Amino acid sequence: MTNIEKLAKILSQSASAVFFGGAGMSTESGIPDFRSASGIYNQKLNQTFSPEEMASHSFFVTHPEEFFAFYRERFVYLDAKPNAGHIALAELERRGILSAVVTQNIDGLHQVAGSKVVYELHGSIRRSYCVKCGAKYDIDFVMKNIPVPHCEKCGGIVKPDVVLYGEGLDSDTISNSIRAIADADTLIVGGTSLIVYPAAGLIDYFRGQHLVLINKTATHADADAELVIREPIGETLSKAVALLK
């Protein structure tokens, strides 16, 4: 039995599967990841500041113009489309097999593909808000108002609703993610190195029957997994779903 067939069999036995994904989920959509050899954090982007510094809350506060220039160029990929993996997950939800997607990604592609229950641990580029009055804005407002977007109501800076270094995760999103993973009968972990905490620690709440890892490189959870697949996520999920009756 191939790994794809094994995954299809696991899915056919599942009624409350959860997908936990990272940057590798969107590389097949043309969005670069962060920590691979060609990822954003290994590129020399600025002579003065590292990418991690430029993606921090303190940099947003002290260097807003540089922050937004970096953000628009490196975090926003509006031309990206959902790949076969996003579409497969939406189909699994539609069939009543998948109960939730928990993602570290900020691109919003799961929702574009049709997934309804998506917990975005690190926020989304598709939402923004005024740091002063809380007024909500969409991604177009941030992209068009250069160099720094200011609120039309109070003049405060409009910040992308993404979690920057130095910021905490949303408590409700964390609670919902923990609940979904704890209640899952199958957990599929895909496209994440499982080294970024606190997000990576969420898989410790899984008590279900089937743990599946789909990732190009090894993770600390491989030894605990029933199935480890080293193939592209989109292709893997799409083929597995195609085998389901």
User: What positions carry a catalytic annotation?
Assistant: 122
β-bridge partners, 190? 21, 214
End-to-end CA distance of the chain: 17
Burial 43-73 (b: 16+ CB within 10 A, else e): eeeeeebebeebbbeebbeebbebbbbbbbe
Distance CA 90, CA 3 (A): 21
In this structure, which long-range contacts are made by residues 207-211, counting pairs with CB atoms below 8 Å and at least 24 apart in sequence? 207/182, 208/16, 208/184, 209/185, 210/10, 210/13, 210/14, 210/185, 210/186, 211/186, 211/187
